């Protein structure tokens, strides 16, 4: 069973996403900021991280992705960045793609079926269909 870490400070997003992913057979853990997320990465060794940008600081999620990339043990864990930063005042602070270490960038609000397709793209077939 693939393990997914959701790092987001929006409890509604975390809860809804967790329910959808668990219904598809994924194991889901969560953290509400980048520091907690890094602890969970070390403790849980997830197969995929779904990561917000703006949490306890404006670029908290980017910092977490940089810390993961800097550690060879975590560099290969795919990161789906799901955020609404494009719709807020801090959008100008967001660096260009060449400076961020994520695999996919999705803008909130996102349809959960689209999120599932991205998860399945990185983890292979749907968890409930594994043999």
Which residue segments constitute the domains of the chain, with CATH numbers given? 3-125 (3.40.50.2300)
What are the structure tokens assigned to 3, written together?
């393990």
pLDDT of residue 91: 47
| Ordered alpha helix ranges (H), the chain | 11-23, 34-44, 60-70, 112-123
By three-state DSSP, how is residue 18 classified? helix
From first to last of the 131 residues of the chain, give the pLDDT tens digit. 899 999 999 999 999 999 999 999 999 999 999 899 999 999 999 999 999 877 776 677 888 888 999 999 999 999 998 877 555 455 455 554 555 667 777 778 888 889 999 999 999 855 555 44
pLDDT at 18: 96
At 29 the pLDDT is 98
pLDDT at res. 53:
79
Tell me, what's the pLDDT at 130?
47
pLDDT at residue number 86: 53
Cβ atoms 5, 46 nearer than 8 A: yes
pLDDT value at residue 61: 80
Distance CA 96, CA 87 (A): 16
């Amino acid at each position: 069973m693939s393990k997914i870490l959701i790092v987001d400070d929006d409890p509604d997003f975390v809860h809804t996403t967790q329910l959808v992913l668990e219904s598809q057979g994924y194991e889901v853990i969560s953290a509400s900021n980048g520091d907690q997320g890094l602890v969970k990465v070390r403790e849980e060794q997830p197969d995929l991280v779904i990561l917000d940008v703006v949490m306890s600081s404006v670029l908290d999620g980017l910092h977490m992705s940089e810390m993961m990339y800097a550690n060879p043990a975590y560099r290969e864990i795919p990161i789906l960045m799901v955020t609404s930063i494009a719709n807020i005042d801090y959008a100008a602070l967001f660096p260009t793609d060449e400076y961020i270490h994520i695999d996919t960038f999705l803008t909130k609000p996102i349809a959960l079926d689209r999120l599932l397709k991205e998860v399945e793209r990185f983890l292979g077939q749907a968890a409930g269909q594994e043999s």
